């Protein structure tokens, strides 16, 4: 099944804000000054390098929210693999509107495609293992919905979206609750019946306690592959296993080889470089 | 003079939104479940690596907007150089509030410090030349004010903040205006007396035309160092010279050696990895 | 453990909007006209009937957001059982501020306490059974966070908070996905590792298919107690069982007696009458 | 004349917020997972019981704001009387959009129709008397405009919409102003020429003072029918008379029989149970 | 009784927006560049001419919302009469905050004081007559609450605040309703019991019809003084009389002399020049 | 080239807010009461006096945001010269929508056209001199973008749009920085390469210092024409010269005759009376 698109109410407020941020108070003073009213133009957004696309609906909406007279055709939807030179979307309409929305459209598309591309690299690196690559809550403020979507576009999956949609009991919680068993007991009691409970464990002893306490997921934090393997064997299907810690395209296969179910990688959303895309027009070079 | 801080009205709406994004509808269900009401805690935000700090006021505000009973002390302001282990700020107060704001505070601080650190590396690489390192409008939607501030914290300077605070006549504008001379004539006529006019030139012939047209700044786009040097000599102080194109810490000195005034680098805001900082508490490991 | 309070960023935007809605453009023209500037007053918010309190923090915030010179003391926190005449909170400060915020504070407090009270009645009715009483997404637009909190204040628990924090595969989904098995297979594949999957079943045959497909929770919709009992026996601990359908204080015990884990009741949030509370002042009757 | 509809700017912000509240960050993960992209569906919103409709425009807007490709046909406008089984509106379009907006549309429609239905019951009960049934400011925060509209849809009328559009001098005001006469004198002097002044009176003596002071409306609070009748005779057309206090369908006719002009009932907006409506599709039961 | 102040929720959103509008994305780059961090300053806002003050609370809030470390003392509240040189408020605190908020504070104070001053001139001109001077809905978008307040500070009163708080049946309504009598009949039937009904009449014949129809207020539009006098006599206390049309300080007394109750003047809010006030500091001239 | 129009994202939020402000909670109760549902009407907005138009796109958007079934035709765009009786735009559509948006549309159009008209008068008065007429930051809170646009529609130009898009070093800055030279040195060092630096000078001695310090623009504040002339000669093209101080249509030519480049006039935005325009319908006078 193709990747579902984000609903318009999920995109629209962010893109309206982004357009307002770039237009500022005076608007696009350059285009206003030098391009005659009524000028129309066409353009295509092309990738300058190979990668995975995300954010194309957001980019399209930037153009049409600027002026509903802009026509946008999406050539490659989110999740598509592109090469240098691939056209992702094409636009035609009033030049003032297209150039006024260009930077917002590209900033979103390049950033999100960068995340999708980085995700796809990790997903590919573990394709021989059952592990899923997931992102964390280490996202850019205001962009969580879109960045999590970009991870899915890259073939990854999502960890929780916020503090509220799953329980993740970490070391500080354990300390203040009075230990793994107490924390899990209280967490389970308070959790709704649709809420999963995950707990961070640093040692195999803690792991045993977590399993005894009925954790749905155990977060095996910063363990080396050998310890991870031991932990996975110890769990033996009684919980979902998640490995976290500094993971790179070079090291991820070794982590996956331990048999963990989930590998969470903060860098997908906080440190992925952009995928370079740009707007090309049929205009002659000035 | 120390780096000026952002005014509270510049920070507050973004941080309120970021807290709401992370709290979601149900709030911090983990802390609510496992930490007794009234529990207080202390913590310090420390860097895990060496770098340059930005966003510490934003991080502090995340804690106090969550609960004005949290006390925050800033140990190192924006612009400070830190090492692995350096404490940047310390917090004390209700545990629910501190843990509820932790991720928002760190997401801002790590992202902005990453930008400051990447900027500082380029600034240092050109310290023997007059060139200033500046960022572009390739910023994350919603974060332009903070990301531009982070570049300043890293010792860089800022290009324009939006479409509206300076004119930048690019190749598409030139084509639709009917050439460099026509574009500059129209741009100058429309520009307010406090608005500078910059124009992109791809060749030395265009450069001559730009200088004849009275450009304040010439954007020398994607030129190799030899051409850049020739262009800088041709300009000979009649305009500010800006070099752009893919610049890295390895190549920036060669660009600066051409004598350009400004080197603009989109990657500072769109592709800098985070600086890793985390919250440490005095609590025993669970 | 006492009921955790909502974080300030969860309450503040709603209450600011509510105050603005009631003040309108001209403000409290009655108090402005007839109460001299600088007049101070004291008052207590008392319950007029017995019930369960929710929303007292929201009510308190209404007063202090109107004027931070109002002092509020909470006598009974959310979750408290009150009788007719019990004081829930007391206020003192400028009369204009207290009377200007009174209606907003009471509207929130009465509505949420009504939900808590209705919930508590059901919870009490099933206290001899393991079943938990939960609310649904049939909430008042804009108030989901507070209404779900009120259900917890009444001793209930929460179903999912939105379309996004758990999967609930209903009859329409099943029809479009091509059956229970197909829907569950696709749902499981797409669900993050912290997302539980619930599916609605109308017959015991569908129930078998749901269990075979690995549903975490089965929604037994509108079944009579005998069928419910049979379903619970069939599940035999392999999934969480949830009963829904028109449940009243009179019928809920019979549902609980079937052994279901969860009883979901939309009426808690959509049809609970208020708990009547009012502001009493020491002033003589005019 | 048919009931006027609310203007789009009165509805749109509330409905956008409600959709965002239900979609959360991740959106409709169930439909996204199990319904193929491009699937279209049709459905009708039918009442499950007899009653009076309100909110159908709001419900329609929920569907079209989700996706302007959804077609909505309103079969029965606000104010219509429906029976169990009556179709109120029909929708067709993308399944993801229809299911994503369903709960918001129904929550509004059921809540507002519940208010209209409760209002209609009281209106019918007093149809042999001149009294009008009106609601109060005891509304759900954020929904005042819609709830007041629902009361009109049920055949009722509206008391003031906020603190600012009429003066209502209550017992606290009277006490702080120094008595009925002083309060009325000050109120009248400050009131704009389009602002009516109402005052609460608890006794016939206060009533005389209120009439002498030129009150436009007298609020006869919590009087028994005999006292109410006496008060109405005393007023003898010199002011509009309003009765308030706990009024039910059983007791309202007795109140109306006293000859009062207005009967205000807070319960219409704060305690009316929903009218049950649901979305039916042509799909086979899964 | 002194003029009541606006409640904080009536002021705060507007002032936050105004500060954001002036700070833009980069903030106060001048002060940031040339004033050392930590510099404190004092200043007084003085009137440069004689007039009537309005907006001093709004101005004060501009300073404290910028930085709650600014101390503001109000020397003359709204409604005060000032001369050239009179100090209206004084501030002390961080220089960056005071200069950053200065323009917003003054823009509000000068604009609103201009309205108050223009109002006071008309009020004084009619002081020997019973007529009240009122403003209209011809206000600046976003500022209605404050501009109406400024009119009160000048001794005037307010017409309705919006389309919703009183009925004003104008010529277009009359034409579409089928005449004065029909319009009034329908208006009265739909109006809530706290809503006054005003109707515009252009001739004495229409006036008779309006009085017969039970208008609360008659708007005598653009009548010359003789016709106005005749109209007032005809009304003879059966309705409130309002004169509108182009009124100036020179002509207003003649209008008032006709005995009308209300004189409405759109120019108070749409065309009053500012009252000039400025910030003086103890600093030596540079 | 014709005056560029504002982009839709620059207009839409303001106009949505303005409509909400006028509709209030209850909406247009007069039209709702007396105009039958489905009534359509036509109208034209005509000027009642001669002047210069600004805000016609904003006015048009007020009608269509109320109801997208309203058709608007713009007869004269912003910048057009009109006479009494000239039709500026025409509307046709649902009567409720047109009358509901009328006041908002006219308030914007009259206010902005008033600014354009006042600007045009000054521009015409200096047409024999090179000086440009510019507005300041003395604008109405919330309307800066539109008021600055109106000045351009009147043939004027714009000073900076906020604190952030140019440096303007005033007397207070100079005092706190330690003099003109120090202030300029620090300002230049901090200013981005696209930011111009202006400095206020009160004497010729300060002017010399400012020129030596490399000011881009010198603000010659409140100088008499003789001093201004001397200052302009002294500058001799080394900087842009700006005169400010109380300028009127009567005195502006004398200022322009001194040869200054720029004349800034706060009164354009803060004290211009409206241009009177109104909606005329084909309806018979009631």
pLDDT in tens, E270-285: 999 999 999 999 776 5
- Whether B109 and B80 have beta carbons less than 8 Å apart is answered as no
Residue-level pLDDT at B246? 78
pLDDT at C19 exceeding the cut of 60: yes
Contact yes or no for E2/E45 (Cβ under 8 A):
no
A40 phi, psi to nearest 5 deg: -110, 155
Angle between helices B56-66 and B8-23 (to 10 degrees): 60
Confidence tier at E48 by pLDDT (50, 70, 90): very high
Separation between Cα atoms, residue C153 and residue F33, nearest integer Å: 44
pLDDT score recorded for residue F38: 92
Smallest CA–CA distance, residue A134 to chain C, in Å, is 9
CA distance B55 to chain E (A): 15
Q: Look-up: residue for tokens 């400028």?
A: C94
CA dihedral of D21, D25, D26, D27, whole degrees rounded to 10:
30
Produce one character per residue of D94-106: b if its CB has 16 or more CB atoms within 10 Å, e if not. Answer: bbbbbbbbbbbbb
> Longest Cα pair distance anywhere in chain E, in angstroms?
73
Report the sign of the C-alpha dihedral through residues C141, C142, C143, C148, in that order: positive
The Cα–Cα gap between E32 and E258 comes to 59
Q: How far is CA D245 from the centre of its chain?
A: 18
Determine contact, residues D183/C34, Cβ cutoff 8 Å.
yes
The whole-angstrom separation of Cα A204 and Cα A227 is 8
DSSP bridge pairs for F200: F219
Q: What is the pLDDT of residue D10?
A: 97
Q: What is the mean pLDDT of chain B?
A: 96
Check A9 against D65: CB less than 8 A apart. Answer: yes
- Concatenating the DSSP letter of every residue in A68-94 gives TT-EEEESS-TT-EE-TT-EEEEEEEE
| Cα–Cα distance for residue pair B234/B258, rounded to 1 Å | 12
Nearest to F263 by CA among F78, F114, F170, F127: F127
CB contact under 8 A, A26 and F2: no
Q: Exactly one of A221, A238, A276, A280 is catalytic; which is it?
A: A221
Tell me which chains share at least 3 CB pairs under 8 Å with chain F. Answer: A, B, C, D, E
Mutation target vs B (from C9, C57, C58; most B CBs, 10 A cutoff)? C9
Q: Give me the helices (H) in chain D, please.
A: 8-23, 29-34, 56-66, 95-125, 144-153, 171-177, 180-190, 204-212, 225-235, 252-256, 267-270
B23 CB neighbours in chain C (<8 A) are 7, 9-10
Q: Does the structure show a pLDDT above 80 at C286?
A: no
d(CA A125, CA A122): 5
Chain D residues at the A interface, defined by Cβ less than 8 Å, are 16, 19-20, 23-28, 31-33, 36-37, 65-67, 96-97, 100
Contact between chains at A23 and B140 (C-beta distance less than 8 A): no
**Catalytic residue list contains C148:** no
Please enumerate in sequence order all residues whose Cβ is within 8 A of that of A190, keeping only pairs 6 or more positions apart, or say none.
B29, B32, B33, B34
Query: Averaged over F55-73, what is the pLDDT?
Result: 98
Is A233 an active-site residue? no
Q: Give me the pLDDT at residue C174, please.
A: 96
User: How close A12 gets to chain D, by Cα (Å)?
Assistant: 10
What is the DSSP code (8-state) at residue C88? Answer: E
pLDDT of residue C277: 98
Catalytic residue among D102, D147, D198, D200: D200
Q: Active site residue: A16, A48, A137, A138, which one?
A: A138
pLDDT tens profile B233-254 = 999 999 999 999 878 899 999 9
Classify A9 as helix, strand or coil. helix
Helix (H, G, I), strand (E, B) or coil at F130: coil
Instruction: Find, in chain B, the residue whose alpha carbon is nearest to that of D24.
Output: B24
Query: What is the per-residue pLDDT for D2?
Result: 74
Q: What separation, in Å, do the N-terminal and C-terminal C-alpha atoms of chain D show?
A: 45
- A7-22 mean pLDDT: 98
Cβ-defined contact of E66 to B148 (cutoff 8 Å) = no
Closest of D265, D262, D257 to residue D241, by C-alpha: D262
**Residue C100 to chain E, least CA–CA distance (Å):** 9
Residues of B taking part in catalysis: 103, 138, 170, 200, 221
Please indicate whether, in this complex, the C-beta atoms of D1 and F28 are within 8 angstroms of each other.
no
**A286 band by pLDDT with thresholds 50, 70 and 90:** very low
| pLDDT over threshold 70, residue D22 | yes
d(CA F185, CA F166): 15
Q: Is the pLDDT of residue D286 over 80?
A: no
- % of chain C at pLDDT higher than 70: 99
Model confidence at E185, in pLDDT bands (50, 70, 90)?
A: very high
Residue given tokens 């890295």 in the structure block: B248
Helix (H) and strand (E) counts for chain D?
A: 11, 13
Structure tokens at B59: 């991080």
Whole-angstrom CA distances from A280 to A85, A86, A87, E244, F282 are 10, 11, 10, 60, 51
- Of the candidates B268, B249, B240, the residue with the CA atom closest to the CA atom of residue B127: B249
Strand-strand pairing, B277-281 and B40-47: antiparallel
Residue C98 has pLDDT above 80, yes or no: yes
pLDDT mean over F100-111: 98
Residue B284 binned pLDDT confidence (cut-offs 50, 70, 90): low
* SS3 of residue E93 by DSSP: strand
User: B34-43, C73-82, D276-285: which range is least confident on average?
Assistant: D276-285
Residue F151 and residue F114: Cα distance in Å, rounded? 10
Closest CA of chain A from B42, distance in Å? 11
The pLDDT-based confidence of A90 (bands split at 50, 70, 90) is very high
Nearest CB among F193, F240, F261 relative to B262 is that of: F193
How open is the CA angle F106-A24-A55, to the nearest 5 degrees? 110
Q: D148 an active-site residue?
A: no
Structure tokens at B23: 């709290």
At residue B107 the predicted structure's pLDDT band, cuts being 50, 70 and 90, is very high
Q: How far apart are CA E233 and CA E211, in angstroms?
A: 13
Q: Give E253: exposed, middle or buried? Use CB within 10 Å, 0-12, 13-18, 19+.
A: middle
Contact D9 F23 (CB under 8 A): yes
d(CA A243, CA A228): 8
Q: What are the chain D neighbours of A144 within 8 Å (beta carbons)? A: 25
pLDDT tens-digit profile of D195-208?
Answer: 999 999 999 999 99
Closest-approach residue (CA) in chain F for D145: F25
Per-residue pLDDT at F2: 74
Please give the pLDDT value at position C115: 98
Four-residue CA torsion sign, D23, D29, D31, D37:
positive
Helix (H) or strand (E) holding B180: helix B180-190
Average pLDDT over residues E7-19: 97
- Burial of F219 from C-beta contacts in 10 A (0-12 / 13-18 / 19+): buried
Residue whose token pair is 């007899």: D50
Element (H, E) at A198: strand A197-201
Where do the H-state alpha helices sit in chain F?
A: 8-23, 29-34, 56-66, 95-125, 144-153, 171-177, 180-190, 204-212, 225-235, 252-256, 267-270
- Residue F225: per-residue pLDDT: 93
Q: Which domains does chain C have, with CATH numbers?
A: 8-117+273-281 (3.90.1170.20), 124-270 (3.20.20.70)
Q: SS3 letters for A263-285?
A: EECCHHHHCCCCCCEEEEECCCC
Give pLDDT tens digits for E120-134.
999 999 999 999 999
Q: How far apart are CA D268 and CA D264, in angstroms?
A: 9
Which of A145, A182, A192 to mutate to probe the C interface, most C CBs <10 Å? A192
Q: What is the pLDDT of residue B191?
A: 95
Q: Are B9 and E65 in contact (CB under 8 A)?
A: yes
What is the phi/psi pair of residue C104, to 5°? -60, -45
Query: Contacts of residue C147 in chain D, CB cutoff 8 Å?
Result: none
Residue C237 CB contacts under 8 Å (≥ 6 apart), including other chains: none
**Pairing verdict, β C240-244 and C217-221:** parallel
Locus of tokens 């690559």: A133
Q: Where are the alpha helices (DSSP H) in chain C?
A: 8-23, 29-34, 56-66, 95-125, 144-153, 171-177, 180-190, 204-212, 225-235, 252-256, 267-270
Residues recorded for chain A: 286
Residue whose structure tokens are 């004189």: E263
**Model confidence over A99-144: pLDDT tens digits?**
999 999 999 999 999 999 999 999 999 999 999 999 999 999 999 9
């Amino acid at each position: 099944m193709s990747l579902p698109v984000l609903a318009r109410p999920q995109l629209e407020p962010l893109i309206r804000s982004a357009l307002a941020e770039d237009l500022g108070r005076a608007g696009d003073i350059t285009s206003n000054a030098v391009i005659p009213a009524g000028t129309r133009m066409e353009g295509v957004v092309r990738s300058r390098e190979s990668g995975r696309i995300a954010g194309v609906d957001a980019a399209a909406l930037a153009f049409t929210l600027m002026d509903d007279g802009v026509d946008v055709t999406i050539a490659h939807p989110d999740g598509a693999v592109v090469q240098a030179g691939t056209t992702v979307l094409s636009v035609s309409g009033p030049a003032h509107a297209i150039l006024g929305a260009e930077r917002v459209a590209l900033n979103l598309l390049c950033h999100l495609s960068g995340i999708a591309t980085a995700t796809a690299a990790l997903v590919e690196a573990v394709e021989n293992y059952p592990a899923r690559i997931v992102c964390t809550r280490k996202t850019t403020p205001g962009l969580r919905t879109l960045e999590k979507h970009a991870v899915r576009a890259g073939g990854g999956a999502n960890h929780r979206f916020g503090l509220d949609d799953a329980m993740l009991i970490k070391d500080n919680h354990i300390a203040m609750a009075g230990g793994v068993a107490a924390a899990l007991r209280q967490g389970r009691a308070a959790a709704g019946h649709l809420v999963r409970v995950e707990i961070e464990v640093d040692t195999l002893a803690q792991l045993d306690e977590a399993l005894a306490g009925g954790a749905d997921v155990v977060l095996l934090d910063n363990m080396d592959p050998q310890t991870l393997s031991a932990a996975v064997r110890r769990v033996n299907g009684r919980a979902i296993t998640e490995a976290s810690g500094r993971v790179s395209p070079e090291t991820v296969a070794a982590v996956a080889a331990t048999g963990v179910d989930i590998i969470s990688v903060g860098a997908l959303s906080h440190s992925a470089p952009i995928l370079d895309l740009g707007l090309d027009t049929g205009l002659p070079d000035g």
